[in-house]
A and B are shown apart, each in its own frame.
With several copies, the nearest count.
Chain A
Amino acid sequence: MPLGIQVSVEPIAAAERLSALTGQSPHDGAVASFVGQVRADGDLVALELEHYPGVTEAALGALREQAISRWSLSQAIIHHRVGRMEIGETIVLVAASAPHRRAALEAVSFLIDRLKTEAPFWKCVHTASGRHWVEARDSDTAASQYWRDQIAQEDA
């Protein structure tokens, strides 16, 4: 797997991963993080995450590299779970550290917004009566596009 990237069927030990990022680099004044977790929604009983092994890790690795370079991060991690998860379980952990807070906070927003539309994961909702695939949300596409435009502007 690319550095800082993990995709696992096993539960994500978010607290442990975050502990490993804090107090690590003397020049880091800021560590920001985001945890996405399974939300009770309608008749959802469990969520199942499918992915495309290999391609997923490469896509996450590329997003991580972009974030590190754009915000001069000291550290960045993405840990995404796949398989079946119950309500309240962690789906994804994103964290970044940097000298100053704005870089860490923006990088975390960027990573979670972009990974939703740029890494080959698919969510399937299991209910008591069957299952259905989650449709992409326009708001997610817009959030991802925002960062795409931001980066295109800077590179121009």
Chain B
Amino acid sequence: MQIHIRYMAALRDRLGDGETAHDLPADITDSEALIAHLTRSDAEAAALAAPEIRLIRNDRIVTRPSALADGDRLAFCPPFTGG
């Protein structure tokens, strides 16, 4: 399946700007498996495994681990610091 990934705020500085499409092997079905997969090609991506990293899936904040589906748009988020 294909997943569209964005990195927000401090993660963008480390992992890249813009939305990128990733074609994933069939055995990757949730967010945690995806993080492990991304880390294989980019050691920096290991930072995504930190429990404080949050996930926005298709414009909704979701809890991890989150199931993934073909065509999902995922945003990896550092802890929120508004207010």
Contacts and interface: CB of A to CB of B under 8 A. Distances in A.
Contacts of B10: 122, 133
Contact of A112 (B61, B77, B79, B83): B83
Q: Which of A117, A120, A136 has the most CB of B within 10 A?
A: A120
A51 to B, nearest CB: 7
Interface residues of A, number: 30
Given A115-B83, A133-B78, A122 B8 contact: yes
A134 interface: yes
Nearest to B77: A120
A54 interface: yes
B83 A116 contact: yes
B82 A51 contact: yes
Contacts of A116: 80-83
Nearest to A122: B9
Given A52-B75, A133-B9, A121 B82 contact: yes
A91 B83 contact: yes
B81 A123 contact: yes
Nearest to B54: A120
Interface string B49-78: 000101010011100000000000001011
A65 interface: no
Contacts of A92: 82-83
Contacts of B77: 52, 120, 122
B57 to A, nearest CB: 10
Contact of A121 (B52, B59, B61, B81): B81
Contacts of B13: 133
A134 B82 CA distance: 10
In the A-B complex, the 6 residue pairs with the closest CB atoms: A121-B82, A136-B79, A122-B9, A116-B83, A133-B10, A123-B81
Interface of B: 8-10, 13, 52, 54, 56, 59-61, 75, 77-83
Interface of A: 36, 49-52, 54-55, 58-59, 80, 91-92, 101, 112, 115-124, 133-136, 140-141
19 contacts: A51-B82, A52-B75, A55-B56, A58-B59, A59-B61, A80-B82, A80-B83, A92-B82, A101-B83, A115-B82, A116-B83, A117-B80, A120-B61, A121-B80, A123-B81, A123-B82, A133-B81, A136-B80, A140-B81
